[in-house]
């Protein structure tokens, strides 16, 4: 079990997750401009994109093994991956709640929601297109939301959950739904339907 945790890079993922919370405490409400494709001028809070880093690291760890080999292995890979994703979600939520209660920092709640939603999105895309394209899609998701997910008044579109206010029930619900769907697919299917970035074995 310890070997498996090291092989999946779990200690590094946990360290990255805690590091992004420290960065979030420092940067607060700092934002980066994003060119708007539609709607109001795009802007993305740094805390709204920080969750990409630990998710991409976790995705890399989950995709380290050869899917064909893992399919015939005796260990229950799907359940272990699911447990790792559950631990990730728990580790994302607990510091957020603590930070928000102690220092009234709502951006911590936004960061936790986005970590969970990004992971769900990554697992969904990974099931269809493999881990390489899943990482690219997750990295592009908050930028795409900032570029095209604003109404003319500046508020976030209903579908642009990474931009929603920290207390938004709709944003939290969408993130949790993506996470639940992603975990369900990851448990049922170990190999992607397509994997354009996979190395050829021939």
Q: What is the pLDDT of residue 6?
A: 79
Q: How confident is the model at residue 114 (pLDDT cuts 50, 70, 90)?
A: very high
Which of residues 19 and 189 earns the better pLDDT score?
19
How many helices (DSSP H) and strands (DSSP E) are in the chain?
A: 9, 2
Which of residues 46 and 191 earns the better pLDDT score?
46
Across 119-130, average pLDDT: 93
- Residue pair 45/39 in contact (Cβ under 8 Å)? The answer is no
Q: What is the pLDDT of residue 16?
A: 95
Q: How confident is the model at residue 125 (pLDDT cuts 50, 70, 90)?
A: very high
Residue 200 has pLDDT above 70, yes or no: no
Most confident by average pLDDT, 23-32, 35-44, 55-64, 134-143: 134-143
Mean pLDDT of the chain: 86
Of 179, 168, 152, 171, whose CA–CA distance to 55 is shortest?
A: 179
Residues in the chain: 202
Give me the half-sphere count of Cα atoms (radius 13 Å) on the Cβ side of residue 23.
17
Cβ partners under 8 Å of residue 163, min gap 6? 44, 48, 142, 145, 146, 149, 150, 156
What is the 3 state secondary structure string of 40-67? Answer: CCEEEEHHHHCCHHHHHHHHHHHCCCCH
Q: How confident is the model at residue 155 (pLDDT cuts 50, 70, 90)?
A: confident
What is the distance between the alpha carbons of residues 85 and 110, in angstroms, rounded to a whole number? 18
Residue 7 has pLDDT above 80, yes or no: no
Residue 138 has pLDDT above 50, yes or no: yes
Q: What is the pLDDT of residue 1?
A: 64
Q: What is the pTM of this model?
A: 0.89
**Virtual torsion, Cα 49, 50, 53, 58, nearest 10 deg:** -100
Across 46-63, average pLDDT: 92
Q: How confident is the model at residue 66 (pLDDT cuts 50, 70, 90)?
A: low
* Residue entry with tokens 């269809």: 128
Cα-only R_g, the chain: 17
Q: How much of the chain is in helix, strand and coil states, percent to nearest 5?
A: 65, 5, 30
**Residue 135: both structure tokens together:** 């990482």
> pLDDT of 67-95, one tens digit each?
544 555 545 677 888 999 999 999 999 99
**Virtual torsion, Cα 37, 135, 15, 92, nearest 10 deg:** 60
């Amino acid at each position: 079990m310890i070997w498996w945790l090291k092989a999946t890079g779990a200690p590094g993922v946990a360290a990255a997750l805690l590091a992004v919370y420290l960065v979030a405490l420092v940067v607060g409400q700092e934002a980066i401009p994003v060119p708007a494709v539609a709607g109001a001028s795009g802007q993305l809070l740094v805390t709204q994109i920080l969750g990409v880093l630990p998710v991409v690291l976790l995705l890399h760890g989950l995709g380290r093994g050869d899917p064909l080999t893992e399919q015939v292995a005796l260990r229950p890979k799907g359940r272990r991956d699911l447990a790792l994703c559950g631990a990730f979600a728990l580790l994302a939520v607990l510091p957020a709640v603590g930070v928000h209660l102690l220092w009234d920092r709502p951006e911590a709640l936004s960061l936790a929601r986005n970590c969970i939603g990004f992971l769900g999105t990554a697992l969904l895309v990974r099931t269809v297109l493999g881990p390489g394209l899943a990482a690219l899609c997750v990295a592009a998701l908050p930028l795409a939301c900032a570029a095209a997910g604003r109404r003319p008044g500046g508020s976030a579109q209903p579908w642009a959950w990474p931009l929603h206010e920290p207390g938004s029930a709709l944003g939290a619900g969408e993130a949790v739904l993506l996470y639940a769907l992603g975990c369900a697919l990851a448990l049922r299917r170990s190999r992607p339907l397509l994997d354009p970035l996979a190395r050829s074995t021939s």
